Structure formats: C-alpha cells, structure tokens
Amino acid sequence: MDNLPVRLIEATKTHVPEIMTWFPTEHSCHVWGGPEFRFPFTAETFLTDSKLTSLPSYALIRESAELCGFGQFYLRAGRCHLSRLAVAPAHRGRGLGTQLIELLLREGKKTLGVTQSSLFVHVTNTSAIALYERLGFTRSPYPEPGLEIPNSYYMISSCA
C-alpha cells in the first residue's frame, strides 16, 4: 500500500503524452479505452478517443505533481459511471487504484447528484475485476439491452 498523499486534479492535454505510454499494445489500449479506441494512436486521435475535453477527466497526482493515474465519470443509466480508469504502470499494486476510484466516486456522485455508480470492465482484466469487487461492485445485466460493450462486464455499486 502506497501511503503518499495523492489528489485529483483536472486532466489536461499536457497529461496525454505520458498517459499514451501506458498503453503500448492494441490489447491494452482496447481493455482501457474500449473497442472503438483507435490503435495505433496519435496524440490527436488519443485526445479525441479518450474524450478528455468532453467528459469530466481527472489525473491522480502526488504532491510532487507526479502523474499516477487517470479516470473519468459521467451520468449513464442514472448512475455515476466511471470510465477509462488507469494507474500508471510504475505505480500499480500499491493501492492507488482504490484511491483513484474512491476520489472519482466522491467527486462524481456529488457533481451528478446520484448515489449509485457503475463501470464496464474487460473480461480479461482480472486484477481490476478483483479491485472493483473489493470496493463493492457486483456484476449486473446492462439496463439498456443491445448497448452492452462486447467482452466486458457491467458492474454496479450502491455504496454511498
């Protein structure tokens, strides 16, 4: 567990070059960004496909301004929906994923005025699935049939 203080700040275009390095393969890119995310990407396509400027997007940083994670939220099916969650490869396995999700949910639920949350996770992302389950998320059928994301689980949480 990493006990160094972290906080969320608004993600900006200046974060994109570093975040791009976190996804060196087509598989890693699609697990993170979804099946529509273009690979190989350029800075321009990455910015467009990540929806960095159109969704509430946050960088998880340390006091030193070191970028440790990234995530987004928006209203989907009446819930605070988390998307494009990632911890920098050099910082994985230190509890930062938990901190990222907890901080995003706190901000997202307050901003959106909801108490429930949701996310999609790729079926092969077993470490993320385990994290989400530890945080109270459970697999659920997607409420809008036909709009599911292929090879992904839809998970919800009612935790406040």
**Could you tell me which residues come within 8 angstroms of residue 11 by beta carbon, excluding any fewer than 6 positions away?**
52, 57, 58, 59, 70
Say what angle helices 126-134 and 96-112 make with each other, to 10 degrees: 60
Tens of pLDDT, residue by residue over 20-66, are 999 999 999 999 999 999 999 999 999 999 999 999 999 999 988 89
Tens of pLDDT, residue by residue over 132-151, are 999 999 999 999 888 889 99
CATH superfamily of domain region 6-157 = Gcn5-related N-acetyltransferase (GNAT) (3.40.630.30)
User: For position 160, what pLDDT does the model report?
Assistant: 53
CB-based contact 61:52 (threshold 8 Å): no
Domain-by-domain residue ranges, the chain?
6-157
How does residue 101 score in pLDDT terms, banded at 50, 70 and 90? very high
Tens of pLDDT, residue by residue over 57-82, are 999 999 888 999 999 999 999 999 99
Torsion of CA 33, 39, 45, 51, to 10 degrees: -10
pTM to 2 decimal places: 0.95
Of 127, 115, 121, 125, residue with least CA distance to 140: 121
